[in-house]
Amino acid sequence: MIERIITTPHPTVGVVVGTYGSVPYVHLHLEVWRRNYGNIPLLVHDDCSPDGEALQALCARYGAGFSCNEERFGHGPGDMTVFLSGLRWAHDNNLDILVKFSRRFVPRINWIMDLQLLAYVSQYATYSSYCTSNNFGFRTECVAMHVPSWVDNGAVDALQRQTEEVKGQYCFLEPVMHGFAKGIHTRNCLFNKLYETVHPPPGGADSYGDWRFMGTDRRKRHTHFLWHEANVPFEYYLESISNGILDYDASIFEDPRPMTGMDSARILARTPTRSAKRRHKQEGTGQIAQADPA
């Protein structure tokens, strides 16, 4: 048994933001990233929405990566492709930890050192929290994963197979991802076993590190992040304004589905795609377009 899976107090971290269209929400994510923790890489993954070109243009403008499914997987399975694309991207970029955010989970602070400390001290392969109001033992709007543990133990390949099986169907994502976290946790390292003897997890919320940044009730308002079960769309609009984003009317935040017609064209006109963009196929989930260096 290995002693530690995370050998440095400052493991490298990257972010993947999952979305289906929703340009204004992704724009807010990118601006918050630039202002608060832009020193780490970020990937946006889209579930084959009509807004792919607009999203890719925004990512190029901000220096973020972009990936897109070649066909739509739908709610649930589409979220699973975010984990797949993100973990493969993180592995290719030699990142220690990948954080997955849903498009409407928008941090308002720099959370990186908090996560790095938790990871180094607790030595879990997964970090999330539970929800008292929904009685969830695991949440997927914000999840951190130790990339080698998830990739090397076969979880990515198993997740790929399961994603293909449920494509286009309803899928309750939380127990699915918790199940993968539990499977990986059976191989936990020595220091994590010692940590759990001192900090035993609550019943039903096992096999991952409790990231207190998330809180334990997804319906409760927090000052350090926005989440749509606690914050109304107008608050995302106000957050965009406070971060200098003046491109959108408040009404656009009411409906997070893809923009169409002139709205999308207007964003593309304001954020032109760089001509020298590199493209390559990524196995399983479609195409990756990586922004050129500034």
What digits encode the pLDDT tens for the residues 76-125?
A: 999 999 999 999 999 999 999 999 999 999 999 999 999 999 999 999 99
**What local confidence, expressed as pLDDT, does residue 272 receive?**
31
Helix H segments across the chain? 23-36, 52-62, 77-92, 112-122, 147-152, 155-166, 173-185, 190-198, 233-242, 262-270
Q: What is the pTM of this model?
A: 0.86
Residue-range domains of the chain with CATH: 13-290 (3.90.550)
Residue 172, pLDDT above cutoff 50? yes
Query: What's the average model confidence in pLDDT over 242-266?
Result: 70
Sequence-ordered list of residues with C-beta below 8 angstroms from that of 119, at least 6 positions apart, any chain: 6, 11, 97, 127, 144, 146, 209
pLDDT in tens, 122-156: 999 999 999 998 888 999 999 999 999 999 988 99
**What local confidence, expressed as pLDDT, does residue 153 receive?**
85
Nearest to 84, CA basis, from 173, 151, 19? 151
What's the chain's average pLDDT?
88
**What local confidence, expressed as pLDDT, does residue 209 receive?**
97
Residue 225, pLDDT above cutoff 90? yes
- Reported as a pLDDT band with limits 50, 70 and 90, residue 256 is low
Residue 135's region, left for phi above 0, alpha for psi from -120 to 50, else beta, is: left
